[in-house]
Each structure stands twice: as C-alpha cells, then as structure tokens.
Amino acid sequence: MKPIQSALKQWMRSNESFQSSLQEVKKEVLASSDVQQLLQQHPELTNEQVEKQLIKLYEYDVQSKACEKCASLDKCVNVIPGFVPHAIVENQRIRLSYHECPRKEKQIAQNEHRSLIKSLHMPKEIYEASFDKVDLTDPERKQALAQVRKFFVDSQNELPQKGLYLHGSFGVGKTYLLGALANELAQLKIDTYFIYMPEFVREIKASISDSTINEKIDRFKKASVLVLDDIGAEFLSPWFRDEVLGAILQYRMMERLPVFFTSNYDLDELKNNLARSGKGEYDELKAARIMERIRQVSQPIEVKGLNHRDL
Ligand code: ADP
Ligand code: MG
C-alpha cells in the first residue's frame, strides 16, 4: 500500500476540480496587495517557493492587519482575535509572527491607564477630565490650574512631597481639576487613589468590624497620590478623625507622600468642623493635630469661578 501522503498528493494532482479551485485561490492570494508587497520586498522567493508556501501566503492575506477587516475588537476576524500577522522571510521561508493589533494595543493602554487611577465612590467623569478641557475664561481658575499643572511638571522629575488643598464653592471644578491631574499622572505611570469622603465615612461606619477596611486603608496610605474629595462635608466621629484620617495622614506625612484635598471649607473652617467631631465636645487639640498633618502634606489654594453645574 502506498503511504497515505503520496496517495493524497496524487489524488490532488489528478483531481481536476480540486486543482481548479486551488488555482483560483492562488490567483486571488497573489493578486492581494499585501502579498504583492511582500513578494516585491523579497525577490528571492521563487515561483516554486511561493507555490510551496501558498498556505502561509493565504493566511497572511486573509488576516486583518490594521483592523481594516473588523468592525470592532470583539468582532475581530483573525485566527487569534486581537493579533495581526507580520510576515518574516528568512532563507526563503515565510514565517508569520503575531502581534497585538492597533485596537488591542489601545485597549491594553486604556486598561493600564485605568489601573493607575483607583477610586472609591467617585463619578466616572473623572476619567474623562483633562487639562486641555479646563475652562480658562475665568482668571481665578487659571491660578489653581497653574498649581495643579506645576505638580504634574515636577512629577516628571520626582513626585513632590506636597499636594494641594483646593477649597472653594460648590461646582467651581475642584474635583474636575484633580481628575485631570490623575489622568495626566497616569501617563507618567503614577497611580492616584480618589476617595469621596462622605461615602467613605458612611462605609467605614457601616463596616467597622469588616477586615477589608484595614486593607483599604493600607492602600490609601500607600498610593503615590491620594485625593480626599469633599473633606469636611460629613460628620466625622472622633474615632474616624483620629484613627482613620489621622493615621492615613500621619503615614503619608512620614513617607513624604502628597495628598490632595477638595473642600467647600477653608483651613480655618475645616479646623472648626474637625474640632466639633465629638458630640457636644470641642476638641481643639485633636483638630489642630490633624490640621498640622494636612499642612504638611498639602498647600492651600482657593479655587474661584463660576459654578459649572449651572452652566
Ligand atoms: P467641585 O468639585 O468644585 O464641586 P466639580 O469638579 O464637580 O466641582 O465640577 C462641577 C461640574 O462641572 C462637574 O459635572 C464637572 O464635570 C464639570 N466641570 C468642572 N470643570 C469643568 C471643566 N473645566 N470642563 C468641563 N466640565 C467641567
Ligand atoms: Mg467636588
């Protein structure tokens, strides 16, 4: 009995319809612009070589190379979704090496960007914020933007030890400015953790005995940049003020890690709020201790301007 391979070859040679469809495919593959370009770049590929490696050329031809054949990454038509072939010719051998397609590359970059900005109870819109979109018609806002930008520029050399305490009325764009900063810092691979304080306080209250709280607090302590959004808007218990907020700030002060704050209150007003944490008591000393830490990790600046929420 003949070996199966040679029997198959003989069948292919003698089978007319198979031969004609093979010729069709060959014609199509050789006519494709990608394949033509490849063959022009590699004149060493003889007709015989082309014939022998037709299946490789076919694969190269049918795969999308710059997402041109796919409606989206989910609908990628390639054998390995999200990967495109690069043809390499060595010693007349064609090899296809697969790499991430442009859409996949973009998705990876986006995921990495997202992973650098973590947040607790923050609106999604912080991810869309950018310095370019900050409204500068208001000169007062320019100053705050300049300070925030300076932090970004300095971060290109070394992460500054101090963040900013942005205070001003509701809706002037304090949170937005810091969202823009976090997006820019992510380009430098610097991670930011955003905490919306009122929700965080509520969450801690509801789960004091929950073991994940300590883990979370640890992450806030160690993030490269920490943003405490809307501080002062909530009622802090003395325990939260001293053991949670105090501990986070103490750690960051010692490690020289910057903290940003946004608040509707200036530093004096915040101090008063912090002193009133205990029911009916006025603990100036404890409040002063927190304020001292806030001053160590940030620099105050007022954000003025129009209420953006009304625009
Ligand atoms: P604040 O934190 O001072 O209360 P926000 O940052 O939440 O104010 O801004 C209020 C609203 O205005 C938000 O919906 C925000 O997305 C929008 N906003 C603020 N600044 C800008 C800006 N420069 N460009 C576009 N939208 C902005
Ligand atoms: Mg805000």
**204-248: pLDDT as tens digits:** 877 767 777 788 888 899 999 999 999 998 878 888 899 899 999
Domain's final residue, options 58, 74, 100: 100
CA of 192 to the centre of ligand 1 (A): 19
Total domains present in the chain:
2
pLDDT in tens, 130-183: 888 887 777 778 889 999 999 999 999 999 999 999 999 999 999 999 999 999
Based on the domain organization, do 197 and 91 belong to the same domain? no
pLDDT in tens, 28-60: 999 999 999 999 999 999 999 999 999 999 999
Closest residue by CA, ligand 1 atom 24: 134
Based on the domain organization, do 120 and 227 belong to the same domain? yes
Q: Is residue 10 part of a domain?
A: no
Q: Checking DSSP bridges between strand 83-90 and strand 93-100, what pairing results, if any?
A: antiparallel
Based on the domain organization, do 92 and 125 belong to the same domain? no
Q: Which DSSP letter does residue 131 get?
A: G
* Contact status, residue 248 vs residue 219, Cβ threshold 8 Å: no
Percent of the chain surpassing pLDDT 70: 96
Task: Tell how many helices (H) and how many strands (E) occur in the chain.
Answer: 14, 8
Q: Is residue 289 part of a domain?
A: yes
Based on the domain organization, do 32 and 73 belong to the same domain? yes
CATH of the domain at 186: 3.40.50.300
Tell me which residue of 199, 198, 138, 197 sits closest to 172, measured CA to CA. 138
Based on the domain organization, do 73 and 129 belong to the same domain? no
Closest residue by CA, ligand 1 atom 9: 173
Domain's final residue, options 100, 124, 142: 100
Q: Which structure tokens are listed for 54?
A: 């037709």
Based on the domain organization, do 115 and 182 belong to the same domain? yes
Based on the domain organization, do 116 and 219 belong to the same domain? yes
Based on the domain organization, do 50 and 119 belong to the same domain? no
Q: Ligand 1 pocket test: pick from 308, 310, 311 the residue with the most ligand atoms within 8 Å of its Cβ.
A: 308
Based on the domain organization, do 55 and 172 belong to the same domain? no
Based on the domain organization, do 126 and 91 belong to the same domain? no
Amino acid symbol at 43: P
Domain's final residue, options 100, 130, 147: 100
Q: Which DSSP letter does residue 240 get?
A: I
Domain ranges, residue 34: 20-100
Tell me which residue of 252, 273, 135, 143 sits closest to 197, measured CA to CA. 273
Closest residue by CA, ligand 1 atom 10: 171
On whether the pTM is more than 0.85, the answer is: no
Chain mean pLDDT for the chain:
89
Q: Ligand 1 pocket test: pick from 176, 227, 230 the residue with the most ligand atoms within 8 Å of its Cβ.
A: 176
Based on the domain organization, do 230 and 140 belong to the same domain? yes
pLDDT reported for residue 141: 80
* Contact status, residue 202 vs residue 240, Cβ threshold 8 Å: no
